[in-house]
């Protein structure tokens, strides 16, 4: 079963907002064995939408459209659906009752005609109830293709996908199994990992594919198996993971799908009942941001000092000026002092500190552009490592962030 995801909105095309809806929908479909054939972003233009529908008709089984369902005149999706299906808009009493209750009962204001118009739907569509918003979803079939329209607001779209679309597709369609296993590696680049895995990859069964998903400081290896025998797929994936582990066990840090290093580190800290803080200079709070992106991070993350300027290192982190003058602000000695002092300040078990020159020009120190010192204060010692991550600036920061968490993860693993 193949699907195409279409996002409608000029704000996406001009880069005003980032399309996160497509990623969520494709991942949700993948979990139930529906393959996303392509993703399209198109303008909020009636003819453009109609042309896209005609192009996709009978080419895929399912077209999921997000956007263009708002109450304003520039939202044309419902009227375009009517044109494509030769239908007309009618008031859906259930939707109108829901919209009225939401506007008058929850928002405590009089309902307007624009609000009431949200209850207009094509007469022949299957209405998908939007419990968390005013714009209903619409499900319509023409020949061999189902067209589904969803609101573009992410939380409304997610509600409808999880509570309406996925259950309906599972109930009405036979689908193959698509199983994934993602192996997380840190410390080696994509080309080096690929070289180590070349012989193993060449001997993968035909129904198992390997994808390399690189990002700064890490490479995710995704094994995908497709077929109708779920047991056979699960057995083969497990077998290949064993073979893979025998080759690159030294750089594997996790196996769970969708599990990032910040999630892994958080779980390890919770398992140890340990806490952490950060003192960041060149990374500007990015490590703290990543750690706190995980639900429940307050159980182990206690705080951060973003001591971007030298004065902040001196006045907030109590780094002796003499130490900075002797060794430079970008040095192993200053990184070590930052880690120790923030660990003491926040009363934590671990602390990460970064100081470096991310570029594009030299800052207050004499260190080469791209140079970064990362320090990890543990309950027993301070570990300091020096790196040069090159350029551009964004690469330096990203790699410093993930290398910091990699160092932390490896250290915690010694006690698990």
As a whole number, mean pLDDT of residues 272-297 equals 96
According to the model, what pLDDT value does residue 364 have? 61
Q: What is the pLDDT of residues 63-98, one digit of tens each?
A: 999 988 776 666 688 899 999 999 999 999 999 999
DSSP 125-191: SEEE--TTSSS-EEEEEETTEEEEEE-SSHHHHHHHIIIIIHHHHHHH----EEEEEEEEEESS-HH
Q: What is the pLDDT of residues 384-415, one digit of tens each?
A: 999 998 888 888 898 899 899 989 998 998 87
**CATH 3.30.70.2860 fits domain 177-254:** yes
DSSP annotation of 347 reads: T
**CATH 3.30.110.30 fits domain 261-413:** no
pTM of the model: 0.64
According to the model, what pLDDT value does residue 416 have? 66
Each domain of the chain, given as residue ranges in start order, spans: 2-172, 177-254, 261-413
Distance CA 314, CA 332 (A): 16
pLDDT band at 215 (very low <50, low <70, confident <90, very high): confident
Q: What is the pLDDT of residues 342-363, one digit of tens each?
A: 999 999 999 999 999 987 776 6
**CATH 1.10.10.10 fits domain 2-172:** no
């Amino acid at each position: 079963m193949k699907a195409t995801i279409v996002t409608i909105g000029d704000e996406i095309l001009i880069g005003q907002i980032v399309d996160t809806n497509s990623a969520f929908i494709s991942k949700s479909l993948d979990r139930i064995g529906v393959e996303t054939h392509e993703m399209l972003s198109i303008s909020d233009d009636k003819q453009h939408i109609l042309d896209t529908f005609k192009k996709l008709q009978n080419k895929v089984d399912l077209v999921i459209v997000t956007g263009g369902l708002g109450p304003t005149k520039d939202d044309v999706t419902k009227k375009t659906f009517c044109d494509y299906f030769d239908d007309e808009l009618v008031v859906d009493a259930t939707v109108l009752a829901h919209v009225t209750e939401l506007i008058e009962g929850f928002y405590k204001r009089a309902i307007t005609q624009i609000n009431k118009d949200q209850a207009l739907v094509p007469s022949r569509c299957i209405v998908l109830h939007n419990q968390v918003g005013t714009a209903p979803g619409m499900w319509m079939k023409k020949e061999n293709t189902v067209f589904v329209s969803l609101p573009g607001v992410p939380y409304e779209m997610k509600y409808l996908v999880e509570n309406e679309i996925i259950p309906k597709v599972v109930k009405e369609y036979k689908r193959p199994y698509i199983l994934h296993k993602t192996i997380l590696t840190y410390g080696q680049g994509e080309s080096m990992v690929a070289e180590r895995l070349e012989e193993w990859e060449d001997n993968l069964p035909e129904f198992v594919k390997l994808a390399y998903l690189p990002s700064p400081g890490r490479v995710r290896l995704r094994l995908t198996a497709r077929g109708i025998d779920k047991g056979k797929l699960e057995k083969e994936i497990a077998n290949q993971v064993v073979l893979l582990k025998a080759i690159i066990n030294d750089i594997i840090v996790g196996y769970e799908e969708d599990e990032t290093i910040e999630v892994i580190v958080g779980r390890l800290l919770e398992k140890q009942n340990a806490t952490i803080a950060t003192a960041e200079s060149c990374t500007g709070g990015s490590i703290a941001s990543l750690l706190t992106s995980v639900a429940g991070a307050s159980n182990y993350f206690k705080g951060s000092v973003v001591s971007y300027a030298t004065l902040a290192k001196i006045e907030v982190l109590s780094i002796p000026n003499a130490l900075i003058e002797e060794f430079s602000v970008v040095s192993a000695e200053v990184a070590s002092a930052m880690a120790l002092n923030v660990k003491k300040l926040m009363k934590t078990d671990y602390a990460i500190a970064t100081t470096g020159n991310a570029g594009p020009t030299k800052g207050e120190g004499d260190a080469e552009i791209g140079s970064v010192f990362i320090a990890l204060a543990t309950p027993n010692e301070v570990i300091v490592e020096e790196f040069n991550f090159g350029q551009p600036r964004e690469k330096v920061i990203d790699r410093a962030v993930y290398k910091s968490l990699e160092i932390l993860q490896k250290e915690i693993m010694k006690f698990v």
